[in-house]
Each structure stands twice: as structure tokens, then as C-alpha cells.
Structure 1
Amino acid sequence: MSKVNTVVKKVAYSTEGLLSIGDIQTVLLTDYPTVYFIYDKENLKYSVYVGETNDVFRRTKQHLIETREDWQELNTSQSSQMLILGNEFSNKSVTLDLENKFMNYFLGVPSIKSDKGINNRRGNPQGKYYTKERIDEIFKEAWKKLNHEEPNLFPDFKIIKNSALFKSSPFKELSESQNKAQKQIIMRIEETISQEKDALILVTGNAGSGKTVLLSSVFYNLQLESKGEDNVLLNGLKSFVLVNHNEQLSVYKQISRKIGLDEQQIMKPNSFLKKYEGEKVDIVIVDEGHLLATRNGQAFPKKYGSTQLEALKKIAKVVVLVFDEHQILTGEQFVDREEISILINEANLENKLIELHDQHRMQMSVKTNNWLNDFIWKHKINEIPNDDKYDLKIFDSPSKMYEAIRSKSDDEAYGLSRMLASYDWDWKADGQKWCVNIKDFSLPWNYYYTNVKNNIPWAENPKSIAEVGSTFTIQGFDLNYVGVIIGPSVKYDPQRKEIFFDASASKNTKAIEKTHGGKAINQNLNNELNVLLTRGVYGLYLYACDENLQNALLEAQKGNSQ
């Protein structure tokens, strides 16, 4: 395939710079639609606006007299610059798609200001159009050219793709199924508001099915419609995102700050209930809804209701609940299977059930996916298939596995790689050095070098390569490669040829509490295994502490089913 002919021109963003635009002789910048960037840098941090136009000269004149606060900062600065991008395939659809892609990638650029660093207000992802199949190639060539002009604003892709903000970006181009789901959610919200009724919209999907990206996009679009005038049903409505997970909460807040939205509309459920008790709000979107408390107590006062979901339904006109029963991890999140069935059936009957089935995270073959599902849910160990797409490997020691993960992490070609373990070692949030110890292997785990209060997610923190993470640091996130230590709470019976769970070996007191019986404990430990083993995009490395399980896995790697 021939190289995309791409041209970039840098000029000062000013009246004088505007005159030089008029002198541009390059046809790709004067006779074709263009994408342009207006940016400034202060204390090594950028603020940037990306736009597209059929007439860059006229559009720049309009920007120079903008009165909005963020534009005033760009317009009055003596150091503001402008980059103009053109290519041989430019048409309206191409430039709109490129604009959206740049906004998406800018969320992961560390040199862009964390507070209102991206001045755009609306993305423009495009559907099918002529040359759509070449848009990634066009974008990569454009980024490469722009990198030569402003390398810190357009850094290496690998830096961006490791960012949790990029992975959860509301500007991501949704898959066909995600796009359909988004339209259904917005439509159901509009119907509920117009009928002046209350409603629960249920979104289900397994780990890696794209739930967080979908919800990020829905929330962003609701924010825009609330402030616009095109949609009379959504205009003026206030929407909230709630997530009962510190790491994911931080990511949502950072995205909102960076694109200039109100981060006060992103909260933990209890904080929301305390603030809005007795009021009626418009829309509440609950990500990781399986982490909601299902009983009251010290962390969830009785006055709010018997469950957090019940309390939220009293306060909000519309609740959008994202739920994966296979990621319930503790007794306080327990939901009886019959209750889950009722929840799903009621949503289905009211045409408010949205199911996500596609796998967007793990880039593996069908055979490898089947092997993993059999291991996690059927508790069987089959022959490990060969897979050119996905690196599934069993190690004979945790030390060797850590060396491999550390090597992947140090290599920019592989990127974000970390160690995880089942919750089978003691840990307390007291700042002491609690370690995962296995023979000669010892690493601190959860937050020792890192800190839960940091704005940066555990997986992205460079210091976390020296730690072992758990479900509490990684749930909701992904890694390029993951090394999982399967602790002694997961065992294998060679006579029955079956994996089973040993609650007495788990240190996760919330998972093994006896309130709901042994079946619920087993399910919690099974779900923990599921969360840990579904984090790796390109590779999963395993070591098992139980001798029988470790031997069975090594045999499966040799090509023998167990």
C-alpha cells in the first residue's frame, strides 16, 4: 500500500500568523479540508484545541475573536502556535474522524494539562465512508509528521496506549455492538424522561466486553446534550457517574478535569447518597454495579435503604446499572442468583436490558478463549493451544515469571505489564511492608511503594512493577501482559481432575465471611480468579502455589489434557 501524502505547516497563532496562512501554496492545505491544532505551553504543559475545517483561513479568523474563557487564554498568549494538517485523502468524513482520533489520543498524552488541557467540547466519530479502511494508516502518518514538529505534544504511541485515561476515553470509536447499545441507552433515557417515570436500565457483560468505554461515552454525550439546545428532552438534565472503586473513580475524575467537565458529578455511591438524600436527581450511571453494597451497615447506613441500588432508585429518575455477576467479590456485594434473574427478567420485559457479548480486551484465538473459560468456570485443565495472537505460558517459579513480566515492562514494544495474585497473603493498609512470600520469591503487595491516594492508577504507576497487585488494585483495568500467582486458595484434585477452592487458605476476610454460606464463598473466590485471569490484552503468565495444580498446568503446557 502506498504511503499517504501528508503535509504539516506550523505558524504562529496570531493575526500575523493568519497572514502567513494566506501565503501557503501547498494544495493539500488550501484546496482540501484540513485538521488544525491551536496550542500553548506553560511550565512544560500544553493546552490544545483540535478542529477541522474546509477553510482554515476563515476558521482561524473566527477563533481569534472567540470570547469563551479557554479561547481567551489562547488568544491573549504571545506563545500560542498553530499546526495545520492536510493529506491527499481529506474529505469531510476523514477530517471529522481524524479530529475525534486526536481528541481520543490527547487524553493519554502526559504533557497536556490535567485541568482543562483539551479545549474541545464534542467528538465526531464517523461511520462508514469512502477510504474508512485507511483511516488508521492516515492517522499514523499524520501523527508521525506532527511528532517532528512538536514531539512532546505528539509523543510515541506506546506512551499513550499505556494510559488508563486513553483506555477509558469517551472519544473511542465504539464497536458496532457498543454503538447500538449507546443508542439504546440514550433512547431509553429519553423515553423515561418524556413519560415522567422512573426506570432502571440494566447493562450486562463479562470482563473485557467494553462496558467502561461505553459508559464513559454515554456520560460524556449526556453532559453535552444537557448543555446544548438540540435535544429538548435531555437539555438541562444533570447526570452522575458512580463507581465503588477508588482506582476507576480517579480515572473518571481525571478525564472530566482534562476535558473541562464537572468532576463533582463523579462520586462514590455513599458520598452521593449522603449529599443527595431526600432529593430527586435526573440520571445516575453506575459503573462496576456489582461492587454496590447489598446490605446496610457501618459503611452503608440503614436509613438509605436495604441496598445501595434500592437507595439510588429512590433518588434518581433513571439509573443505568452496569452489572457483571462474575465480578462480585465479597459478602457485602452478595446477590442471590434468583435476585439476579429477577433483575434481568424485569429489565428485559420493560425493554431496558442491554447485553454486551463481544470481547474487546483479550486478543486471543477462540481456542485460547475456550481454554480459559473451561479453566475458570468448568474447573477443567485442557491442553493449552498454540496461539499466534496470545501468549499463554506456565512458569515453574514465581521468580522466573516476575523476571519475564519485568522484561516485558521494560521493553517499549510490549509496555504495561504487572504481577498479580489471589488474595492469599496478609495485607493491611498501615504502610507496613506486607509481602507475597513463596520460597525464595518475595515482593511487597498492594500499596507499599505506590499509594491508593495517588491520582495515577496502580497499574500505570512505574513503582507498581516492584509490587504484586490484587483484585482491589486492578479490577476495571487491563494490562498488556499479566503474571498471575494463583495462591493456595485455588487447588486441584488429580483424582477427580477438577479445580476447587479452599477458603481456609484465603486471607480475603470479606470474600470468605460465612453470612451467605459456602456456595457464596466459593463463588467469590471463583470470581476473584476470573478477574485476575482476564486482565491481559496480549499475554497471561501463570504460576500456581498448589503443587497438584502447578503440575497439571505444566502438563497442559506440554500438550496433555488433565
Structure 2
Amino acid sequence: MTGFRIEKGPFAVTQIEAWIGLDPRFRNWPVVYALDGDDQIYVGESLNVATRFRQHLASQEKRHLKGARVVLDSTFNKSVCLDLEAFLIQRLSGDGTYQVTNRNVGISDRDYYGREKYQKIFADIFEELRRDGLFSRSLPEIENSDLFKLSPFKALTDDQEIVVLDILEGLFDDIASGTPSQIVVQGEPGTGKTVVAVYLMKLLSDIKASDSSQQVESESVLAEFFVEGYPELLHDSRIGFVVPQMSLRKTIQRVFKRTPGLDAAMAMSPFEMGNSRERFDLLIVDEAHRLRQSGNQPAGPLYKMFSDINMKLLGADDPDLTQLDWVRAISTHQIYLMDSAQSIHTGDVPSRALDALMATSDASHRRYRLTSQMRVRAGEDYVGYVRGVLSDTPPAPRHFAGYDLRFFDDLSQMRQMILQRDQEVGLARLVAGFAWPWISRKDKSAFDIEIDGVQMRWNGTDVDWVNSPGSPNEVGVIHTIQGYDLNYAGVIIGPDLRYDPRRGELRFDRRNYFDPTAANNMPRRGITFTDEDILGLVENIYAVLLTRGMLGTYVYVCDRPLRERLRPYFDVPANIAANAAHPNP
């Protein structure tokens, strides 16, 4: 049993007076409260909730709210209340029933004595609020949703908060001095690049709309940007958010639509950005390594559009121009979030352009790095381990404690295990390289993949496939999963990647590669891609797939020599034995 109780009543002076008469903690005790009305909700914490409610009733922003709930517990302290406040804001945002009107500057993720015990109580508080109608979905359903994972109310890790602080200090200095800026944020898979990008959009919107005469009650270092001087620098500024991948962009548009101060139209494709009639003061570009170069577009009409935008923005249709040039031409300030090792298509911006961008940001001390692993429970070393394994100079096999890493010789067993994990915790999916033709696009009754007698189809939708009803029984291609999290990933390494045991080398098999444009040459530009060039992209694809699972990764390999080559690195019993023979320093 827990000692909390939740008081509920109308958001009115008479109710406040009644509560004060019943319990002195309404005037002198740390509590958490929620105010709701007209599909909006505000969550706060206070040591004197009676006074705080009177302040809110006098506020034009909150006086329209109708209902009030107060969470009381005799064991609560300030740290617990800040944590519960953040917990509820994040879950309300992920649930989507209400539009959360809070700023995101006050969201904290700080440890304190007894936190693990209190977070169990938070789950009980959630359930009581859910029974009362404040939430429409269960806690696991919310926490597995992309609305939650990409919420602008996420609590930042320490290194994310430092990066955001450094970005804002540099950006505001550049705006104040009239100096154009190019800021680069680098990070491996799972370090939260998209989380930082979405957080920045909300934070900048809140700063822009804030009244600097009103004090922001937050212990966050980011609260300093709500004082006089900073909101004025953003006055009338036009800010946009560029996302190259369609599926991820659609999800972010849903998040922005539910977030005060943001709008779905702010999240756009590079082509929509390039066709804009107005300049942008600031563009935040997520997954900047997936911006494209000319000469290898996924659809015919885009070739002409690419040329038209080149002429419009740069006055010439130079074949060496890329969408990176568009971003610079149409905006004064840019923030790029990128990881060049996640480039998976010959049409992606070439590495030399990304290197030049990083050199420019280095020259002005505007390059930052995210390091804390947010996705994979195995920790920061796992991403480097996977990339090393998918090279011709692999590291010694390792065991990652607490991470469910398994290797399968029977695909049907791996498929059943993924379905079982999906029943247990949700978000367990099969994913694969583009090593089979997509027959079911035209013939819905056909199967695309057949291995060991197991017949499967590619993803039935390109948009938000991870959360679509049929996804547990399908196989997701790389383009549907990049930028998303899974709890468990069942990775099928197809026959597009093989191993030559005689030479001791990985090799690309073009005969078994079916991405319609990813390996195409660019004859109009005189560019030909060798198998060695495509091998690097295929290795990147499988590195992305093998780092999607937060709780575990299961692996099946089609090519037999490659299967034996990779077995010691992903097979838990063999992995542990090898680890004992080759202990880590």
C-alpha cells in the first residue's frame, strides 16, 4: 500500500478554500497537481498549492481550465515532486488525449534518495489517474508509442542538456552579432539526436513566446534563456524542421500537431523546404546525412524539381549541388544533427560534403557530440562493437550483461521468439536488409521472403510501420525503421552481404540487392558505384538494424560462411566462452 491520495474538484476559489480547511498540506507541503479543460492540461508542482492556484486563476493563460487534481503524500519532498511532475507531463504528452501546455524547460531527470521506490508509486498514481479518465491508454502502450519517444517533453541526459545549452549560447551570440551560423551535432545511433532536435524546437518556441518580465520557476540551466534579451532575439523569427525520411517526418508532424507553439507544417521534407516562398531564420535538420544529392532520385518528377530548386535558390543547375546547399541558401542559421556512418543510399549527400560542413562548424567552434546511449541497454560500447563486427577487422567477442543478444540457425524459431517478446513487452519486430524483391507491393497475396520454409511479406505501409496493426507479422525494410526504437529487433542479414572465407573479407552481392535506386549509378554525372562502394552502405544498413533493439537483438544470417563468421559475436553461449578465452582489459 502507498500513502498517496488524489484530491479532485473544480478549479475555483471555493474549492481551494474547502481544501485548505481539510488539510494543511495545501498551504505547506510539496505536492503535484494537474489542471485540465477544453482538451488541454497543465501539470505543476508547488510547496504552497493554494497560493499557486490563486496565481493560476489570475493568469489569462490558465484561468479557462476547469478541473483540478492534487496528488498528496506525506513522504513527498521537492525532488520527488519534480520527478513525478516530469513523469506525468511525459506520459500525458505520449498518451495524446490532452494537449500539454507546459514548457519543456522544467523537465528534469535527477537522481535522489529512494527514487526507485517512488517510481513504483508513480505507476500506481498513473493507474488511479487513468481510472479517473486522465489517460486513455496503459503505461506500456504509452511508453512504446512514438508520441512518447519523440515527445518534446523528454528529460534530457546530462550530456544532452550540456549540448543544448552550448547550442543556444552560440546561436544567440550569432543572432545578436548578425553572424550566419552552421551548428553540427554528431551522435551514434541511440544517443538521442532526434530527441534533442525536437526538444530544441519546443524550447525555442517557448523562449520566443515568453514574457521576460515573468519569472520562470525552474532549476534547469536552460531557464536563463527566458530572461530579457533572448525572447527579443527570436521576435518574428521563422523556424523550420527538416526531416528527409518520410515515415519519421509523418510521426514528428503528429507530435508537433499536439504541441502548443509548434505546428505540423513546421516539419517538412527537403523539397518542401526548397520550394518555400520565404526564407528561414533557422532550420534544424534531423538525420542530415540522409539529405540527397542530384542524379539519383526515388521518383522521376523529383529530378526536375531538384533542378528547379537549384535554379531558384542558387541560380544554376550544377550537378554537384546538394540539398545541403539548399539549406544554406534558404536560411541564415542551421543546426544539423547527423551520423555519417548511417548513410545507406548512393543518393545521400556525399561524405566529402559532410566533412566540409564539419570543418566549417569546427572553425567557428560550433560542433558538438552526443555520447550517452539512450536506446540500447547494452551501453555505449555496443554500437562500436557492432560496427567493428561488420568490418574485416572485427574485435574480440564480447558479452553485454543485461542485454538479450541471441543468434539463430532457424528463422522460424527467431520469428516465434520475436512474436513472444511482442506479446510480453510490445515493439518486437523483424527487420532485414533489402535483399528480396518487393512482390507484394503489386500482388497483396504474394510473399516477398521465403527462408527455411518460412514465408513473409515486407512492411505493408511506409508510414509509422512499427506501430501499424500488421507489423508483428511482417518484415520491416531499412527505410521504415531508421530513426525509430524497438524493444526487440529480430535482424535478418540477407544474401546481399556475404563472407569470403578464403580471402577473409565481407563482400556485397549485387544479384541479391533489390533497393530500387540505392545502388544505381549516376550516368549524367559520370559517377559509377563499385561493389566496394555499395558494400560500405550495406554494412551501414545492417549496423543500423542491429542497433534498433533497446532490450535485445536476435540475429539470423542467410549466407552460411557469413553465419559462421558472425556466430561468435552474437551467439550468447559462444559469446561467453569466447569472452572467457579473451577477457576484456
Instruction: Tell me, yes or no, whether TM beats 0.5.
Output: yes
Letter aligned with residue 49 of structure 2? V
Partner secondary structure for residue 221 of structure 1: helix
Report the Cα distance in structure 2 between the residues aligned to 1:397 and 1:389, rounded to whole angstroms. 24
List aligned pairs for 1:175-324, cutoff 5 A.
175-228=157-210, 229=212, 230=227, 231=230, 232-260=232-260, 261-276=262-277, 279-295=278-294, 298-299=301-302, 300-305=305-310, 306-324=321-339
Alignment match of 2:71 (pick from 85, 101, 116): 85
Provide Cα deviations, 1:308-364, integer angstroms capped at 9, x if missing partner.
11011111110111111111111211404x443332222112101112233221111
Using a 3 Å threshold, how does the CA distance of structure 1 residues 14 and 493 change in structure 2: closer, same or farther?
A: same
> Could you tell me which residue of structure 2 aligns to residue 100 of structure 1?
86
Kindly provide the CA deviation profile for residues 33-59 of structure 1, in whole angstroms up to 9, marking residues without a partner as x.
321112358xxxx64221223332333
Distance 1:252 1:365, change over 3 A: closer
| Aligned residues of 1:283 and 1:318 also touching (Cα < 8 A) | yes
Residue 120 (str. 1) matches residue 102 (str. 2): yes
TM-score (norm 1): 0.86
Deviations 1:147-199 (A, max 9, x none): 22533535543222201121122222211211111011112211221121222
Matched with 1:78 is none
Contact 2:391 2:506 (C-alpha < 8 Å) held by counterparts = no
Q: Residues 187-238 of structure 1, C-alpha deviation per residue, up to 9 Å, x if partnerless?
A: 2211221121222111111111211111111111111111124323233322
- CA deviation string 1:92-120 (max 9, x = no partner): 5553443233211212225x14xxx2232
Q: Which residue of 1 aligns with 2:315?
A: none
For residues 551 and 378 of structure 1, the distance between their equivalents in structure 2, rounded to whole angstroms, comes to: 14
Distance 1:438 1:371 in 2: 28
**Pair 1:507 & 2:505 matched:** no
- CA–CA separation in structure 1 for the residues paired with 2:113 and 2:350: 45
Percent identity, please.
26
Paired residue secondary structure (1:392): strand
1:406 and 2:419 equivalent? Answer: yes
1:452 corresponds to: 462
Equivalences for residues 408-557 of structure 1 within 5 A: 408-411=421-424, 414-427=425-438, 429-430=441-442, 432=444, 433=446, 435-447=448-460, 451-452=461-462, 457-514=464-521, 515-518=527-530, 519-554=532-567, 557=571
Within 5 Å, which residues of 2 pair with 1:57-68? 57-64=50-57, 66-68=59-61
Whole-Å separation in 1 of the counterparts to 2:367 and 2:379: 29
For 1:473-507, what per-residue CA distance to the aligned partner results, in whole angstroms no more than 9, with x for missing partners? 10001101000111001112223343322222111
Q: Secondary structure at the match of 2:502?
A: coil
SS of the residue corresponding to residue 165 of structure 2 reads: helix
Read off the aligned partner of 1:324 and give its amino acid letter.
Answer: D
> Residue in 2 aligned with 1:353?
367
Residue 535 of structure 1: how far off its partner (Å): 0.3
5 Å-filtered alignment, 1:322-341, equals 322-336=337-351, 338-341=352-355
In the alignment, the residues of structure 2 paired with residue 431 and residue 29 of structure 1 have an alpha-carbon distance, to the nearest angstrom, of: 64
Query: Quick check: 2:153–2:199 contact (8 Å CA) kept in 1?
Result: yes
Residue 128 of structure 2 is aligned to residue 148 of structure 1: yes
SS in structure 2 of the partner of residue 235 of structure 1: coil
Q: Supply the distance in 2 between the matched residues of 1:5 and 1:172 (Cα, whole angstroms).
A: 28
Check the 8 A contact 1:371/1:382 in 2, yes or no: no
Contact 1:491–1:499 (CA<8 Å) still a contact in 2? yes
SS of 1:108 mapped into structure 2: helix
CA shift at 1:287, angstroms?
0.4
* 1:253 Cα deviation from its structure 2 partner: 1.5
Cα distance in structure 1, aligned partners of 2:506 and 2:73 = 57
Structure-2 change in CA distance of 1:208 and 1:126 (3 Å): closer
The residue type equivalent to 1:391 in the other structure is D
| Counterpart amino acid of residue 314 in structure 1 | A
Asked if the contact 1:471/1:528 (under 8 Å) is kept, the reply is yes
- SS of corresponding position for 2:470: helix
CA, structure 1 residues 220+367, in 2 after alignment: closer, same or farther (shift >3 Å)? closer
Runs of 4+ in 1 over 6 A off after TM superposition: none
Aligned to 2:316: none
Alignment check: 8 A CA contact 2:182 2:360 kept:
no
Distance in 2, matches of 1:369 and 1:288, equals: 17
The worse-fitting range, judged by mean Cα deviation, of 538-547 and 489-498 is 489-498
Q: What is the CA-CA distance between 1:67 and the residue it aligns to?
A: 4.1
Counterpart selection for 2:18 from 9, 17, 20: 20
Q: Deviations over 1:456-487 (max 9, x none)?
A: x2112232111100111100011010001110
**Shift in alpha-carbon separation, 1:381–1:179, aligned structure 2, 3 A:** closer
The CA distance in 2 between the partners of 1:367 and 1:346, in whole Å, is 29
The DSSP-based 3-state class of the residue aligned with 2:95 is coil
Partner Cα distance (2:407, 2:365) in 1: 44
Q: Is the 8 A contact 1:48 1:119 kept in 2?
A: yes
Cα distance in 2 between the residues matched to 1:71 and 1:122 = 21
Cα separation, 2, equivalents of 1:29 and 1:13: 14
**CA contact 1:28–1:87 (8 Å) conserved in 2:** no
Per-residue Cα deviation, 1:290-322 (whole angstroms, up to 9, x for no partner):
111122664242233321110111111101111
Task: State the shift of 1:365 in Å.
Answer: 5.6
Shift of 1:252: 1.7
- CA offsets, 1:376-405, max 9 Å, x none? 24464854x443311111111221111000
- Give the distance between the partners of 1:399 and 1:244, measured in 2 at CA: 34
> More displaced, 216-225 or 150-159?
150-159
Which amino acid in structure 1 is aligned with residue 166 of structure 2? Answer: Q
Instruction: Tell me the amino acid that sits aligned with residue 281 of structure 2.
Output: D
Amino acid across the alignment from 1:7: R
Measure the CA separation in 2 of the matches of 1:431 and 1:239: 43
Q: TM-score, normalised by structure 2?
A: 0.83
1:7 corresponds to 2:21: no
2-side partners of 1:169 and 1:398: how far apart? 35
SS, match of residue 224 in structure 1: helix
Rounded to whole Å, the distance in 2 between the matches of 1:140 and 1:28 is 23
CA shift in 2, pair 1:516/1:443, >3 Å: same
CA distance in structure 2 between the aligned counterparts of 1:28 and 1:58, rounded to whole angstroms: 12
Unmatched 5+ residue regions in structure 2?
213-226, 311-320, 522-526
Using the TM superposition, name which of 414-423 and 256-265 deviates more: 256-265
Alignment check: 8 A CA contact 1:202 1:344 kept:
yes
Cα distance in 2 between the residues matched to 1:146 and 1:10: 15
Q: 1:517, CA displacement in angstroms? A: 2.0
